[in-house]
Amino acid sequence: MRNLSSIEVPQLEKPQVSMVETANTKMLTATSLVKYFYRGTVNEVLALDHVDLKVDSGQFVCIIGSNGAGKSTLMGCVSGYSPPDHGSTVLDGRDITMWPEYRRSKLIGRVFQDPLAGTCASMTIEENMALAFRRGRRRGFRSGVTKNERELFRASLAKLDLGLDSRLTDQVGLLSGGQRQSITLLMATLIKPKLLLLDEHTASLDPKTAELIMKMTKQLVEEERITTLMITHNMQQAITYGHRLIMLHHGRVILDFDQETKSKLTVTDLLQHFHEVAKNGADSISDRMVLG
């Protein structure tokens, strides 16, 4: 198996995750993912170019990269929204490459960029949470929301400290984007997922709310030690949060920093690295063609 990142980025070290005991077990293994768009036409785009990604159990990975770098395509391959043309995705020992989106959702929690996309506006807060509480379970003719669940939801909403715990029967459509995104985040982690996918989940929020959501994310992820992939455009966010930082460019992983290296970085360093690698891009492509 190729380790692209080690070829292209000499300073790379294997990520050390000291705070997580199960550091050696791989939760997510994406192997040689390839994804084309408009294949066979003049507009053909290679969105993912043999991407390998291994994520340890409990690791929180930030993914950055410019528009069109392949971040969302990578997320799509993992979430099942748009399966890869080639390669495999193994989550928690199960090969989910060909699983339909709804099936793998049983293992994956997701928060979208659009704060309105993660909840049902016409349903109440408790109904939305009850929908999430049944992720991965058969939905039959039992009650949609039970009394015990209601108390559970109230308790977890109280932890957010947004005053939502007294509004369980309010329609979600009445809430603000920030409140809805908080609920979505809570819903994604209500049943501990094997993997949490955060797709620029603070990008559409005002700076203050974005910070609040990030703090919440950190707390939830660390409390439950949830394996997490987070896409962000905010370099500072990528440096501050998580155990590992990955940069994608033209469908390839061009930078991969562990927590120690990452913590010493500044946004300026990161940009510097990016320009260096982007400049050498042509060479590494020819290397790949030879070694490929």
Partner 1 sequence: MSFFAFTGAIEQGLVYGLMTLGVFITFRVLDFPDLTVDGSLPLGASVSAVCITAGMNPWLSLFPAMAAGFLAGMITGILTTRLKLLHLLASILTMTALYSINIRIMGGRPNVPLITKPTVIAPVRELVSSFGINPWLASSFLFLAMVILVVCILIWLMRTEFGQALLATGDNPKMITSLGVNTSFTIVVGVGLSNSLVSLCGALVAQNQGTAEVSMGVGMIVDGLASIVVGETLFGGRRIVSRIISVVLGSIVYRLAIALALSLKIFKATDLNLITASIVVASLCLPKVKTYFQSRSYRAKID
Which residues contact partner 1 (rule: CB under 8 A)? 79, 100-103, 105-106, 108, 110, 112, 117-123, 127, 130-132, 134-137, 139-145, 171, 187
DSSP codes joined into one string, 9-70: -TT--PPP-TT-TTTTSEEEEEEEEEEEESTTSTT-EEEEEEEEEEEETT-EEEEE--TTSS
List the structure tokens of 242: 């998580």
Quote the least distance from Cβ 78 to partner 1, whole Å: 12
Nearer residue to partner 1 within complex by CB, 144 or 281: 144
Quote the least distance from Cβ 27 to partner 1, whole Å: 19
Nearer residue to partner 1 within complex by CB, 174 or 285: 174
Nearer residue to partner 1 within complex by CB, 11 or 102: 102
Quote the least distance from Cβ 193 to partner 1, whole Å: 10
Return the H-helix or E-strand segment holding 151: helix 147-160
Quote the least distance from Cβ 171 to partner 1, whole Å: 6
Cβ atoms of 191 and 129 within 8 Å: the answer is: no
Nearer residue to partner 1 within complex by CB, 93 or 144: 144
List the structure tokens of 278: 């982007």
Spatial separation of the C-alpha atoms in residues 282 and 55, rounded to whole Å: 28
Quote the least distance from Cβ 75 to partner 1, whole Å: 12
Spatial separation of the C-alpha atoms in residues 84 and 89, rounded to whole Å: 9
Nearer residue to partner 1 within complex by CB, 31 or 113: 113
Number of CB atoms found within 10 A of residue 53's CB: 22
Quote the least distance from Cβ 134 to partner 1, whole Å: 6
Maximum C-alpha span of the chain: 63
Nearer residue to partner 1 within complex by CB, 138 or 208: 138
Cβ-based neighbours of 126, under 8 Å, separated by 6 or more? 145, 149, 150, 153, 168, 169
